[in-house]
Amino acid sequence: MYMRTLKAALVSSAMMVSAAQAQQVVEWWDFLGGGDGVRMKSLIEQFNAEHAGEIQINATTLEWGVPFYTKVQTSAAVGEGPDIMTYHASRIPLAVSQNTLTQITADDLAAMGLSPDSFAAATWDAVNVDGATYAIPFDTHPIVLYYNKDMLAASGLIGEDGLPTGLNGIENFNAAMQTLRDNGAQYGIAQVTADGGFAFRTIYSLLCQQNGEIGGDGNWFPGDSPQKLENAVQLIADWVAAGHNPSYTDYPATVALFTTGAAPFMINGVWEVPTMSDLYDQGNLFEWGAIELPVFFDRPCTYADSHAFAIPNNAGSPQTPEEHAATLEVIRWMADNSLFWATAGHIPANVAVTETPEYQMMQPQATYAVLTANSVFDPKSVHAGVASALFEAAGNAFTAAMNGEIDAASAVAEMKAEMDGL
C-alpha cells in the first residue's frame, strides 16, 4: 500500500515538473499607466487564468515616452529585450531605422487568424514601413470633441438623433460657442493652449481637413501646406482672441473647465472617457458625449495614433519556435478580447470587435468610432511620433501663436525651419 502511494506521488510530481517545463513564460513590457494600466493588468490576469499551465505573461510597466523607447532600443541591441511590448504606431519608423523590431510575417498573421482586412486601413498602414509589418494594432486612439449635452440641448444644439447639430464649418461652430456663452457658459471650448506640442494633435487634424500634409525629411510641408498649417493655427488663435478659449491653458485645466461646466466643449483624447464615465456614475457630471471633430474646413479628418503590439529584434537571442508561438497567442488573444479595452475610450483596432452588438451599445465609443475612416497618423519619419522632434518643434513654435504673442505665419516658418534643420 505504501509503495503504491509513493509511486503515485512520484508520478504526480513528475507530471507537475513536466507541466511546469511545458509552460511558456512571455516577458511583457508596457508603458501603460492610470486607467489604461488598470485595464491592461486585468486583461493580463484573465489571459494567465485562461492559459494556466500553458502560457504565462510576466508583465513589467515602464515609464512612458522617451525613457521607454530608449530602454527598448538599448535592451534589444544586447539581446535583453522582452518577448512582446506595447508600442506606439507613430514610433515604428524610428524603431525600424534602429533595427529594433522583428517583422510580423504573413505566416504570423495567419497563425493569429488576422489579416490587413482585420483593421481600419489607416490604422493598419501605420504599423507598416516599406511594405513590411512591424506590429499588430491593438487600438486607434484619436482626439475627439467632448460636449455638455445639457448645455447644448438648452441652446438648441442637439438634433433629433440626440447628437450635436450645426457644428460643421468655422462660422457655424463659432456661432454655436457664442450662443452657449450668451446662455451662461464662461467659455465656448477648452483646448490646450499652454502646450503647442499637445495642441499639435488638433492643429494636424485641421491641416488634414484642408488636404494639407506633413511630408518628411527634406520636404516637411509640401505644396501649399504651410499656408494650410497657418490656417489651422490661426483658428485656435482666433478662439483665444475672441474669448471662446482661455489663453495659456494646460491639460488639467481643460479637463476642469469642461467637467465644471465652464466650457461646454473640450478637445481631448479618447483616454479621458473613463474620467467622464466615472464622474457621471458618481453623480458628479452632467449628461455628456463625444464625437469626431466637426468639419471646420473641407473634409472630416482627425489625428490618431495606435497602441500596438511589437516583438523586439533581440540581437543574438531570437525567439525559439515555442516562444514565438506563445507570443503570437498573446497578441491573438488580446486582439480578440479588446472589447474591455474599449472601456478606456480607445477604439479596438480589430474590426471584428467593433462590429459586435456589445460594442455598438457602448457609448460614446461607438459614436466616434466612425472617425477611423477619416483618421490621419503621423508621417512616417524617424523624426515623427509621440515624444518626437516633430511634436517638440510644434510646441516651440505654436504655443506663442495660439495665445496671440506672435502671428501664425511666423510660427509656421519657425517650425518649418526647425524641422528642415534636423
89-104 exposure pattern, b = at least 16 Cβ within 10 A, e = fewer: bbbbbbbbebebbbeb
What is the number of other CB atoms lying within 10 angstroms of the CB of residue 247? 15
* C-beta of residue 365 within 8 angstroms of C-beta of residue 344: no
CATH top class, domain 20-138+306-367: alpha beta
Domain 143-302+388-420: CATH superfamily, name plus number: Periplasmic binding protein-like II (3.40.190.10)
Contact partners, residue 34, CB within 8 Å, separation at least 6 = 271
How much is the pTM?
Answer: 0.93
* C-beta of residue 335 within 8 angstroms of C-beta of residue 47: no
Q: For the chain, where do the domains classified as CATH 3.40.190.10 start and end?
A: 20-138+306-367, 143-302+388-420
Grid cell 466616434 is found at 368
Question: What is the identity of the amino acid at 230?
Answer: E
Determine the pLDDT at residue 21: 54
Cα–Cα dist 12/245, whole Å: 69
Determine the pLDDT at residue 266: 98
* 22: confidence class by pLDDT, cuts 50, 70, 90: confident
pLDDT digits (tens, 9 = 90+) for 65-86: 999 999 999 999 999 999 999 9
For residue 10, pLDDT over 80 is answered with: no
* 5: confidence class by pLDDT, cuts 50, 70, 90: very low
pLDDT digits (tens, 9 = 90+) for 349-362: 999 999 999 999 99
Angle at 44 between CA 354 and CA 12, to 5 degrees: 130
pLDDT above 90 as % of the chain: 93
* 212: confidence class by pLDDT, cuts 50, 70, 90: very high
For residue 16, pLDDT over 60 is answered with: no
Question: 20-34, 43-57, 87-101, 306-320: which has the minimum mean pLDDT?
Answer: 20-34
Strands (E), 77-224: 84-88, 128-129, 132-133, 136-137, 139-148, 189-190
* C-beta of residue 323 within 8 angstroms of C-beta of residue 338: no
